[in-house]
Amino acid sequence: MLDSVSFIYGTAWKKEETERLVNEAIKAGFKSFDTANQKKHYREDYMGNALKKHFDNGLDRNSIFLQSKFTHIQGQDHRLPYNPEDSFTEKTLSSFNSTLKNLHTDYLDSFLIHGPSYSDHVCDDDMEVWQAMEGLVQKGKVKKIGLSNINIIHLKKFYDEAEVKPSFVQNRCYANRAWDHEVHEYCLKNNITYQGFSLLTANQDVWHSDKVSNISKKYNVTPADVIYKFANQIGMLPLTGTTNITRMKSNLTNIDTFELNDEEVSLIKNFFL
């Protein structure tokens, strides 16, 4: 992970606007980008178009963090990045190779399993995908691997069985579920970086509360900045996918301009307790 990374720009749901918005995010100063080889929600190829223009103009590939995901067939539409008849190892490698092509790069900083096959356990197919990803780490094609949309049962199973341990967990983070406390704590204890998404939209009651509004006024920032800073201070790496260029710049800049005190952190942490 690049030391300077405090925020990831996510590219979901942007369709044909992806190229323009990734270009704007690079200009705004974002150095980390999240995508998935899942045309239903992400356009890696358009993100790659934006990256290529910057690479051609001198942007150093090693100065940015690129993360993508392998998505099981249940999460895809008809535009598959692999042959559905192939083994899970072959599917993982096909998806990965097409990601590299889409992004105009020869390695990924991070590669995630988008989600496990079942909500209550990890099956052999998931472990086969993981082992294929471990092979990519061993070959130097991927720096770190991780998991998304998982619960504590999945995380413990992957962590216990893995030869290459997960470095990232990317989850939707709900304040009314104690900010995904169990998974987040496990990550903190095991040197796994927790990436939180939907920090605003999953937590409207917190984001739009008087309490958070008062804190934001104190530091002359927005309530969104307070939520992102809170996530950062409790040891999460937040994602934003804003399409608003002003917010893109201000969210990225403001997060470094203030520090919540312990009382404010615990007020947000324990919002629903």
Told to check if 148 binds ligand NAP by CB under 6 A, we report yes
Told to check if 99 binds ligand NAP by CB under 6 A, we report no
Between strands 236-240 and 8-10, the pairing is: parallel
Listed ranges 7-15, 54-62, 178-186, 264-272: which one lies at the site for ligand NAP (CB under 6 A): 7-15
Told to check if 201 binds ligand NAP by CB under 6 A, we report yes
CA dihedral 228, 10, 159, 178 (to 10 degrees): 30
Shortest separation between residue 56's beta carbon and ligand NAP, angstroms: 24
H runs (alpha helix) in the chain? 18-28, 44-56, 88-103, 124-138, 152-161, 181-189, 204-207, 210-219, 223-233, 245-254, 262-269
Pick 21 or 267: Cβ nearer ligand NAP: 21
Shortest separation between residue 148's beta carbon and ligand NAP, angstroms: 4
Shortest separation between residue 42's beta carbon and ligand NAP, angstroms: 7
The DSSP-derived string for 118-136 is: SSS---HHHHHHHHHHHHH
The DSSP-derived string for 72-88 is: -GGG--S--SS-TTS-H
The count of other CB atoms within 10 Å of the CB of residue 233 is 17
Listed ranges 52-60, 83-91, 99-107, 241-249: which one lies at the site for ligand NAP (CB under 6 A): 241-249
Shortest separation between residue 83's beta carbon and ligand NAP, angstroms: 23
Told to check if 10 binds ligand NAP by CB under 6 A, we report yes
Which residue matches tokens 């197919």?
125
Mask: binding to ligand NAP, 18-57, rule CB under 6 A, as x and -? Answer: ----------------x-----------------------
Site size for ligand NAP (CB under 6 A): 21
Count of positions (residues) in the chain = 273
- The binding site for ligand NAP (CB under 6 A) comprises 10-12, 34, 148-149, 170, 197-201, 224, 239-244, 247, 251
